[in-house]
Amino acid sequence: MLLLLGMGALFRLFRTQLPMWFSAGAVWFVMASGLLAFYGPNYLVNAGALGLVFAGWWTAYRWSETGLRLNGRLGLMLLSLTMAVLLRPTMALGWIPLFIASIGIRHKARWMLACVIPLFIGAAYAWWTKGVNAANESTYFLTTIRPIWLSEDPGQIWKSFREDVLRQW
């Protein structure tokens, strides 16, 4: 759902500069990319986070049209970009176009602050989760699941998998 929201936002963003068919074609190329072919139809957060980045771009553009006033568009921009970086920290790469866009913005300090706030929240969250993981000797957040190569007895795990799980299939 978030991916479709993002694609709609990307279409609207392209539509501000391009004719409708070029905008639709650009969104189609994004949807047909290898990244979305792999991540789109599964339950991983990558596609949803990418959709939120696109929604953040659209709301950032709309916010810039208001002269960077404090309004709901700023709130939507902060919300979508913050959720994107919380879902998938590597989506911080989506800030590169926002920082490039700051070249044409009059109120650069306000723009940069609005762009950095979600990154700061994402970095604080990542720092906190690493602390929780270290305190609980966990590899994955809020779980005790560890990769098989870090287990005390990988042979026992393989034996359990063969005898318990494979037998049920």
Domain ranges of the chain: 2-135, 141-169
One DSSP character per residue, 96-146 reads HHHHHHGGG-S-HHHHHHHHHHHHHHHHHHHHHHHHHHHHTT-SSTTS---
pLDDT of the residue at 79: 95
Of the listed ranges 92-96, 112-116, 131-135, the one predicted with least confidence: 131-135
Pick the residue with more confidence: 145 or 151? 151
Q: What is the pLDDT of residue 123?
A: 93
Q: Compute the average pLDDT of residues 121-131.
A: 90
Q: What is the pTM of this model?
A: 0.76
Q: What is the pLDDT of residues 70-90, one digit of tens each?
A: 898 999 999 999 999 998 888
99: Cα within 13 Å, side-chain hemisphere: 7
Instruction: Provide mean pLDDT across the span 148-156.
Output: 77
pLDDT > 70 fraction of the chain, expressed in percent and rounded? 93
